[in-house]
Amino acid sequence: MDHPQVPRFATTLSVVNAWGRAGHFGNARVANERAGFPRHFDHQFGWAADQLSKFAFAGRISGDALMDQHSHLPLQLSIMAANDAVEMRNGMRSADMHKYHQLNQFFAWDPLEAPNLRRCPTCVEEDLARYGVAHWRLHHQWPFTRHCAEHRTPLQQACVRCKKSPFVEKVAIQLAHDDCLLCGHHAHFTPLIDESPVKGPAEAYWSLLDLAFRALKGEALEIRSFDEAALRRRGITMDHVVSKTLTRWNCRSGVELAAKLDIVVQEDNGARKLKNASPLMMKLAVLNCGLEM
């Protein structure tokens, strides 16, 4: 069977677009729409990965492969109890949602993909040599991320000519090596780091990026063995862990940490507060510290 050759961690939309460009759809835009516009569902689970597999790939990329290799699901599951993770995964595979959730946001106010698409120049080169097209990668799109976790290179997001970035809302048929869709300039993006530097201390930033990338690969098994009760027996409370996390990130509050991680914060009567009480990357940052205590 003809199996589409796509790199692990290519975004779902990227895989859909490459598959369409290879001539497997009459209308790639229809498949894109089916794959889902960005939307904010409150606590809505179910991506219908199996449906997308049938609809877009005639089963040649399975629902399981879509979830495990082309979605942020493994990252989300890494911080869940094993039984809950199995249940969530089953929901994602078979739920009847009609729309596969493009941004994989899991919770409405905790998007795991920044609005602007980013790419790593080394990934682009390697993809072009191997597949003839270059893919957008999941781990480049995490809002706090400024580097490719694999190649350590600064990510790129803005066109040198029009200074604009490709953006997911467009749901256009775009791949990472394409000319700028907005001005037609041959794709040569300025490094993202020039516009938007890492917001936290380098050590904390890289440690979190590496942990998140290992979690996406399903390798951060130590997260599940994090044992709050065992810490308490040693006189360490979660308050201590949180306080160590804030110190590590050079922050005084959770809201400040959220801002450094580019997590959505809202103004409420002049006070800034988190839209989602426990954003995934924040949890990971805290666990990252707790595991070292």
Residues engaged in binding Zn ion (CB under 5 A): 120, 122-123, 148, 150-151, 159, 161-162, 180, 182-183, 185
Question: Shortest Cβ distance from residue 178 to Zn ion (Å)?
Answer: 11
* Helix or strand holding residue 190 (H, E): strand 189-191
Question: Shortest Cβ distance from residue 136 to Zn ion (Å)?
Answer: 11
* Helix or strand holding residue 268 (H, E): strand 265-268
Residue linked to tokens 């990357």: 281
Nearest residue (CB) to Zn ion, 60 versus 151:
151
Q: Could you tell me if 78 and 212 are in contact, meaning their C-beta atoms sit under 8 angstroms apart? A: no
Question: Shortest Cβ distance from residue 149 to Zn ion (Å)?
Answer: 8
Nearest residue (CB) to Zn ion, 10 versus 66:
10
Burial of 144 per CB tally in 10 Å (0-12, 13-18, 19+): buried
Nearest residue (CB) to Zn ion, 5 versus 243:
5
DSSP H helices, 25-137, are: 28-35, 49-57, 63-70, 73-78, 82-94, 121-131
Q: Could you tell me if 80 and 88 are in contact, meaning their C-beta atoms sit under 8 angstroms apart? A: yes
Question: Shortest Cβ distance from residue 70 to Zn ion (Å)?
Answer: 16
Nearest residue (CB) to Zn ion, 185 versus 224:
185
Question: Shortest Cβ distance from residue 35 to Zn ion (Å)?
Answer: 23
Nearest residue (CB) to Zn ion, 120 versus 251:
120
Nearest residue (CB) to Zn ion, 161 versus 240:
161
Burial of 208 per CB tally in 10 Å (0-12, 13-18, 19+): buried
Distance of alpha carbon 205 from alpha carbon 228, whole angstroms: 24
Question: Shortest Cβ distance from residue 186 to Zn ion (Å)?
Answer: 9
